[in-house]
Each structure stands twice: as structure tokens, then as C-alpha cells.
Structure 1
Amino acid sequence: MSGPDLAVPPLPLEPEVLIECPRFSMVKRRADGSVDFVSPLPCPYNYGSIPGLLSDDGDPLDAVVLGPRLSQGQRVRVPVVAVLGFIDAGKGDPKVVCGTHPMTSSERAGLERFFRVYALFKRGLHRVRGDVPDTRFVGWLREGP
């Protein structure tokens, strides 16, 4: 049996990102607007997905947009600056990081901290639901355009 697939489909230099969770929100929504996850802490990033591209979990490919708060439902085209590896419920769930400038070392460290903590909360949610799958931050799959 093979492990989770962390492969990322070919990405345009500036993908269109649908914002599902504006920066500082506590509710992560799916592309259809339904609630996916309620966080005990506000998300420090704009979080969404890239319509038309799927990850191993069958959901649209997740994306983080650095910078100021954007509105839920807003669609933006922003350059890819990195891709980080994440496994959720045993499936590959990479995150495409987009921004108007290369990541700073503090942005990089902040993303690592955020997704390590996010994994802890998601594991707890899975346990509450009676499941104990592999959920964790894997590391950087790609940095730079």
C-alpha cells in the first residue's frame, strides 16, 4: 500500500484562488460554502482553493494568500511563492502559498508554525469523530516560483 500522494498538479504562475476563509476568520469553509472546520484560533492567512485543480483528498487544491484580508468568495490571481506538504486524514493535502512578493523568513516560519498547530487541531477533530488518521505538516515541497 502506498502513502499519501503529495504531488501537485501543474500550476499556472498566477492561479486564480477562491477565498473561503478570510484572514483572521475562525471558520474554514469549503468551496461550496459549507463549514469544514471551526478553529479555536483565528487563521492568520487568507485561505482558499484553486478551482479546477484537485489534491489527493479529492477536494480542490488548497491555497494560502499572504497579505491583507480578502473577502470570502473573492477570486484573486496571485503568483505562487511556495508549496508546502500537508497530510490530512491520511491523504495528501498540499497547500499552495501565493503572494505578491517572495516569502520572508518570518512568513516562512509563521506558515510552518501555523500548519503544525493546525495539524494538532485537525487530529483532535478526527479523534472526536472516532477516527485516528495520519494528519501532519510534512515540510516544504517547493519554494520560489
Structure 2
Amino acid sequence: MSTLDRAGLRSVPALTEPPVVEVVIEVPRGSFLKRGSNGRVDFISPVPCPFNYGSVPGYIGLDGDLLDALVLGPRLSLGTRIRVKAWGAVIMTDGGFIDDKLVCSDVCPDAVQRQEILKFFYFYAKCKGVLNIWRGRAGRNACEGWCEAIQALGRARQRDDLLNQPPFD
């Protein structure tokens, strides 16, 4: 069972080993280009991405796309496939749909790192809301906070068709 720390974030239980997932990097840390899992540029950001961002090809999120994941640490190249521990997830609402973002790294992010990740996604949700209005897409956009990775994986569904991998090899 998890507990809340002083920042109101759920901590990862000390006795539980986090799940390990394969992540394909679509947006290297520091990049301004946001790509989708199909490899196409989705938009150009006014600020660089503060972490490696990609997807978990084995899972489909509630929004119908591959489950999103960010990988903390040094910059990874576009298309890198990495097996990494998922320590938690940011719960996003994008266009009215839950769009979880797994938070992955070799070591568990501390409370300060989790707070910084959440700050980024609160800002990101506001920017995505403006972008969705400009694109004519309806629905609420918000960062709903932090949850355990197993909860986000439980909301996603495993892919049956792993033959259709993202175009990055």
C-alpha cells in the first residue's frame, strides 16, 4: 500500500519491485519536435522537452494510442528501444480522455523530481489545451497528478498485434 509524502505525491512501496517496460524514444531529451508513435511530427514545441519521451509498444492507453512514457536521465537518440523500470505515472486528461504517462528510469525518482515532472505536465496540459482549441478539438485538458505505474498499466490494454511496431528500429 502506498502512502502520501509531504508534497501529496504517492510514494512507491519500498518492498515492491517496479514493472519493467520497453520504451521506444520518439522525442529525445532537449528536442523541440514532438513526434507521434507513427514517426510523424505532431507539433513543434516552443520549449525543449526536459526528458526523453516515447511510448510503450506493448500497451494501448485509454486514448487509443500507444501508452506514453518518459525516460529520465541522459539524452537518448530518436528510435532508441530501452527496457527500463516504470516507477510511477502522471495522469493526464487530453481532450477528455485519460492519457497516462509512465515515468521510467534506472532509479526511483525522489519527491523533488516527481514534483518537477508534475510541474512540467501542469504547464503542458495548459499548452495542449490551447493547441487543441486551435485544432478544433473539444474536451478537457489537465494534469490530474501522480499514480503508481501499475495503476496506469492496469488502465491500458496489452497489444495483441505486436507485428505492427512503431517505425523506429
TM-score scaled by length of structure 2? 0.75
When Rg is computed on C-alpha atoms for both structures, the one with the higher figure is 2
Q: 1:79 to 1:90 in 2, by over 3 A?
A: same
Summarize the Cα distance change of 1:44–1:34 in structure 2 as closer, same or farther, 3 Å threshold.
same
How far apart in 2 are the matches of 1:120 and 1:109? Answer: 17
- Residues 17 and 50, structure 1, Cα contact 8 Å, conserved in 2: yes
Match of 1:112 in 2: 118
Q: Which residue of structure 1 lines up, in the alignment, with residue 45 of structure 2? A: 39
Aligned with 1:85 (options 85, 91, 114): 91
Report if the CA contact (8 A) 2:103-2:149 is conserved.
no
Secondary structure of the structure 1 residue equivalent to 2:20? coil
Distance 2:62 2:37 in 1: 16
TM-aligned CA deviation for residue 143 of structure 1: 6.5
- Percent of residue pairs identical: 44
Listed one character per residue, the Cα deviations across residues 88-111 of structure 1 (whole Å, up to 9, x for unaligned) are: 111110010001111122211110
Structure 1 residue runs without a partner (length 5+): 1-11
Corresponding residue number in structure 1 for 2:15:
none
8 A contact 1:28–1:37 mirrored in 2: yes
Moved over 4 A (4+): none
1:50 paired to 2:92: no
Equivalent residues of 1:123, 1:132 under 8 A apart: no
> Mapping of 1:121-140 within 5 angstroms?
121-140=127-146
